[in-house]
Amino acid sequence: MEAIKKLKPPKTPPKEVEAITKNVEVKKNEFWGWCVLASFLALLVISCGVYTLVKLFPNFLPHNKPGPNRPGPIARNYADALGIAFQFFDVQRSGKLVNNRISWRGDSALRDGSDRNLDLSKGLYDAGDNVKFGFPMAFTATLLSWAILEYGERMAAVEQLGQAQDSLKWITDFLINAHPSPNELYVQVGDPDLDHECWERPEGMSERRPAAQVNASFPGSDVAAEVAAAMASASLVFKKIDPDYSFTLRTNAEELFAFADLYRGAYSVSIPQVKKFYNSTGYGDELLWAASWLYYATRDPSYLKYLTVINGDVFGNWGDPSWFSWDDKHAGTQVI
Ligand SMILES: *[C@@H]1O[C@H](CO)[C@@H](O)[C@H](O)[C@H]1NC(C)=O
Ligand SMILES: *[C@@H]1O[C@H](CO)[C@@H](O)[C@H](O)[C@H]1NC(C)=O
């Protein structure tokens, strides 16, 4: 600028220049004033618009859109439903309750298994009755493990994962105690006929609570394999959070699978009293189901071979999956 001034001296006298400059400055200030006012009005209009949109369409804002770690309003409803559903596992608990969240439940069945020098106090009651049926209980544990392995991150995002793991452990603690020696598994606690004569709270029951077992002479490949599947899948759930517990589950699962496979038979034949309640129509599906979970838990190729060669053909029921239930695991095995 200095250089230009020197080259071209101003033609207008200094006084006039001053007046012009002042006029320009006044205009400039006015201009900025209008700008600020206009911006303020624009901001007001936009804010009102956005507020109205958000009120009318609550899902409009990006932060309300569900994401893996950010449940939206609908996801929050499902999260609440999941929390309520998980209460079922709390309500059904047998034994000495810890961190009990159900105000109307208390300790019960503390002496279950004591006539066999075992602690079979934990686990879950089946339904409205107070019997602990091992076959469906183990299947419940396997499915809970599968759900955690598949959706654990989502459960964590809505603060339900700890609850799911606790419920699973309440069952697997029982299953570990129900397997006191390699070829022995307790599959039921309580006498269903006696139990069904009286509808009562487990906290107040006084009937005999006999424990029934399968063993080498009276085998139960279905129930033993289902318990093996429950333990193998649960060992994957606890692998990182409790490696010792996971190891215990895995070794118990391998032992039970060997027992189930070596001494073949349906538990409904060995213990006819279970027929009326949870009759098992076959054990081939449970053997495959357990071998599948054991393959995932151990990565031992012998389980894969067990599944895919002879037994896969004999037990697989390929192309004809029926319903998936505590009795029939074909569909689940085929998915895995
Ligand atoms: C094996 O199981 C059967 C059926 O539960 C039972 O009657 C029998 O006493 C058991 N055998 C032993 C040695 O415990
Ligand atoms: C009960 O289980 C046995 C043994 O697996 C089977 O032979 C029988 O058909 C089953 N009964 C019913 C009613 O499903």
Query: What tens digit of pLDDT does each residue of 30-83 get?
Result: 767 776 777 777 777 777 666 665 566 555 454 545 555 666 677 788 889 999
The pLDDT value recorded for residue 328 is 92
| CA 82 – ligand 2 centroid, Å | 35
Query: Which parts of the chain sit beneath pLDDT 50?
Result: 1-10, 12, 60, 62, 64
Q: In the sheet where 211-215 sits, what is the strand order?
A: 132-133, 184-189, 211-215
Check if 280 has its Cβ closer than 6 Å to any atom of ligand 2: yes
- CB of 268 closer than 6 A to ligand 1? no
pLDDT at residue 50 in the model: 60
pLDDT one-digit tens code per residue, 246-283: 999 999 999 999 999 999 999 999 999 999 999 999 99
| CA nearest ligand 2 atom 10, residue | 281
Residue among 135, 264, 269, 279 to mutate when testing ligand 2 (max atoms within 8 A of CB): 279
Q: Which of 182, 184, 314 is nearest to 254 (CA)?
A: 182
Say what angle helices 284-298 and 221-237 make with each other, to 10 degrees: 20
Residues whose CB falls within 8 Å of the CB of residue 219, separated by 6 or more in sequence, listed in order: 259, 260, 263, 264, 265, 267, 270
Q: Residue 210: nearest ligand to its CA?
A: 1
pLDDT score at 195: 93
Nearest CA to ligand 1 atom 12: 215
Q: Hey, what CATH topology would domain 63-335 get? A: Glycosyltransferase (1.50.10)
CB neighbour list of residue 296: distance below 8 Å, 6 or more residues apart: 232, 233, 236, 336
Count the Cβ atoms, other than its own, within 10 Å of residue 232. 29
Distances (CA, A) of 39 to 35, 50, 258: 6, 16, 78
Q: What is the pLDDT of residue 286?
A: 96
Closest CA to 303 of 292, 311, 312: 292
- What pLDDT does 2 receive? 45
208 CA to centre of ligand 1 in angstroms: 18
Distance CA 80, CA 322 (A): 32
Pocket test for ligand 2, best of 281, 315, 325 (most atoms within 8 A of CB): 281
C-beta of 281 in contact with ligand 2 (< 6 A):
yes
Q: How far is the CA of 279 from the centre of ligand 2 (A)?
A: 6
Give the residue among 230, 241, 183 at the shortest CA–CA distance from 332.
Answer: 230
Give CA–CA dist 214/226, Å, rounded.
13
Reading the block at residue 181, the tokens are 């020696």
Looking up tokens 């449940």, which residue turns up?
Answer: 71
Residue 174 pLDDT: 98
What would the two tokens of residue 114 be?
A: 């004591």
Output the CA 264–ligand 1 centroid distance in Å.
Answer: 15
Please report the pLDDT score of residue 31 as a whole number.
Answer: 64
Query: Which atom of ligand 1 lies nearest, measured to the CA of 213?
Result: 5
Instruction: Look at residue 261 in the predicted model and tell me its pLDDT.
Output: 97
User: For residue 186, how far is its CA from the centre of ligand 1 (angstroms)?
Assistant: 10
Instruction: Please indicate whether residue 282, judged by its CB atom, sits closer than 6 Å to ligand 2.
Output: yes
- Residue 298, ligand 2, Cβ within 6 A: no
Ligand nearest to the CA of 268: 2
pLDDT value for 118: 98
pLDDT of residue 308: 87
Ligand 1 centre and the CA of 221: distance in Å? Answer: 15
Q: For residue 88, which amino acid is it?
A: F
